[in-house]
Amino acid sequence: MAEQTSAEEERDLKLNDELRHDYGPSLRRDEFDALLIYSMSVSVDGFIADREGGFGWTVPDEELFRFHLARVRELGCHLCGRKLYETMLVWETDPSLRDTELDATFADVWCALPKVVFSRTLDSVQGNARLAEASVAEEVAAALAATGKDVEIGGAGLAATAIKLGLVDELRMFRNPIVVGGGTPFLPPVTEDVPLELIETRTFGSQVIYERYRRIRVDTD
């Protein structure tokens, strides 16, 4: 099932980007002060979903959930793959997820956040979202230009495209204390090294470890 999900995400991206397997000069425009961030919960062995496509082991406790709330509140836009968009849509459509004050606050923040959804199978999207109309590089540039805040990108297939195009500035991983042995990987295979700097770590009471890496960009002039 995980392999099928990855195939679906790759199919969804084909109409939105001409993928160039280029790990050379970044396509990122340096005039943007805001960052493009790829953040997901992962297993110790680097998977965001297991071999059956499950990710129930990523459910946060209250401490981590409050951290996610503060993080999402600081974003100016979210670029979503189809599967991630559909997974998170419940925060906009399911009233039962507003049963507590904390959940209601997160739902309000998520609903208010502008989103761009990359899909070739969806005809429409709900809430404060729109379907992507241009390439990944162009949509990233537009999102960064439209806000002074950081932009997050999510969904393994979509993020893989952005990483391969050199667009992602930071990787933020929430490493869960579990080994799943296979599934959907957090990172795509690359043909050249991508140098990173570890700029922040934090261990939560649930033993989830937050790792924040910034890409080291080499001056090619």
Q: What's the predicted TM-score (pTM) here?
A: 0.84
pLDDT of residue 86: 94
What pLDDT is attached to residue 148? Answer: 86
Residue 26 scores a pLDDT above 50: no
Output the DSSP codes for the chain: -HHHHHHHHHHHHHTT-------SS----TT--S-EEEEEEEETTSEEE-TTS--GGG---HHHHHHHHHHHHTEEEEEEEHHHHHHHTHHHH-GGGGSSHHHHHHHHHHHHS-EEEE-SS-S---SSEEE--S-HHHHHHHHHHH-SSEEEEESHHHHHHHHHTT---EEEEEEES----SSEESS---SS---EEEEEEEE-TTS-EEEEEEE-PPP--
Average pLDDT of the chain is 87
Residue 103 pLDDT greater than 70, yes or no:
yes
Span 123-150, pLDDT tens digits: 999 999 999 999 999 999 999 999 889 9
Q: What is the pLDDT of residue 28?
A: 46
pLDDT on residue 218? 73
Question: In this predicted model, which residue has the larger pLDDT, 214 or 217?
Answer: 214
The predicted structure's pLDDT at residue 191:
86
pLDDT digits (tens, 9 = 90+) for 32-58: 689 999 999 999 999 999 999 999 999
